[in-house]
Structure 1
Amino acid sequence: MEDGRGQRIVAAARGWIGTPYRHQGVRKGVGCDCRGLVRGVWAEVTGRQAQDPGAYAPDWAERSGCDRLLIAARDHCGDAISPADAMPGDIVLFRWRAGVSAKHAGILSGPDHFIHAYEAAGVIESALIPSWRRRIAAVHRIPRGPENAEPKTTT
């Protein structure tokens, strides 16, 4: 990303490291899940709140029959970019296996690392090892200006 923007996003995400894992949480230092981490960093870097996903169960992706995380990322950020073009500061979405909805999100912090909220550990920076890379469902870039920060309405 131009002008050090990606590094500013990574710095914001690193500010969440150590935040405990809390399902549906979105408060730095208090608790968040992976969606809450991305929403919190989004708010810090865009100055706007991302659309509230509403209440969701821990198994929401398995039960929904809809790829809600991918839809939300597209609505907020536009079309996905190629993982080969991913840069620090980009949002990365994961699916646990083929044929199921994407269920996990993080923020790339380098070519081989990402920051995410993980149930067993809270917000951490992890290596993007082959087992994580195989599970990448999409990569999205956080839009630049406020004119792009408002999510589109989905029906």
Structure 2
Amino acid sequence: MTGDRVVAAAQSFLGTPYRHQAAMAGAGCDCLGLLRGVWRALYGEEPGPVPPYRADRRDPANAGALADAAARFLLPTEAPLAAGQVVLFRIGSDAGPRHCAVLVSPTRFIHAQEHLGVVEANLTEGWAQRIWGRFTFPDRAERPD
């Protein structure tokens, strides 16, 4: 999947208010909802059902869910940081990822953040140190069933 298509889909969410578990440009989304919206823009349908999850990042019931979903639907990459990659971030002292975003360039990303909504931000050293993993959207033919 080309990075330009992924970035354009993510940019269509800029300014969308933050809404927990939502995934609709202009109406509301959270960080996972942003990725779900990009997926729909690329492929026309949701990748699969999304189980309920709490906004509380410390909820142990959600531990590993983001990493599991990324492993199931996205392709891991170790290529240099590039536009269109999905980045998973650790938050706080959690070992696993609890936040996700789409790279616009090697130094900028789009994400949904409480109180701010969907924004484009700098990939500062602080954010870069929290990167847990990077992924790409698959070509449609490679998409898991």
Q: Which residue of 2 aligns with 1:129?
A: 124
Structure with the higher fraction of residues in strand conformation? 2
Change (3 A) 1:61 1:44: farther
How far off is 1:56 after superposition? 0.9
CA separation in 2, counterparts of 1:105 and 1:66?
14
Q: Which runs of 4+ in 1 moved over 4 A?
A: none
Query: Does the CA-based 8 Å contact 2:81-2:105 persist in structure 1?
Result: no
Residues 59-68 or 39-48, more deviating: 59-68
Q: Which residue of 1 aligns with 2:24?
A: 27
In the superposition, the TM-score normalised over structure 1's length comes to: 0.86
Query: Does the CA-based 8 Å contact 1:93-1:103 persist in structure 2?
Result: yes
Aligned length: 145
Q: CA RMSD in A?
A: 1.7
Q: Which residue of 1 aligns with 2:36?
A: 39
Query: Does the CA-based 8 Å contact 1:46-1:149 persist in structure 2?
Result: no
How far off is 1:148 after superposition? 2.3
Q: Secondary structure at the match of 1:103?
A: strand
CA separation in 2, counterparts of 1:57 and 1:41?
21
Q: Secondary structure at the match of 1:36?
A: helix
Q: Which runs of 5+ in 1 are unaligned?
A: none
| Structure-to-structure mapping, 1:1-155, within 5 angstroms | 5-59=2-56, 62-64=59-61, 66-78=63-75, 80-82=76-78, 85-145=80-140, 147-151=141-145
Once the two structures are superposed, what CA deviation does each residue of 1:86-126 show, in whole Å capped at 9, x if it has no partner? Answer: 32111100011454331100000001000000112000000
Instruction: Give the partner amino acid of 2:90.
Output: R
In the superposition, the TM-score normalised over structure 2's length comes to: 0.91
| Identity value in percent | 37
How far off is 1:46 after superposition? 2.1
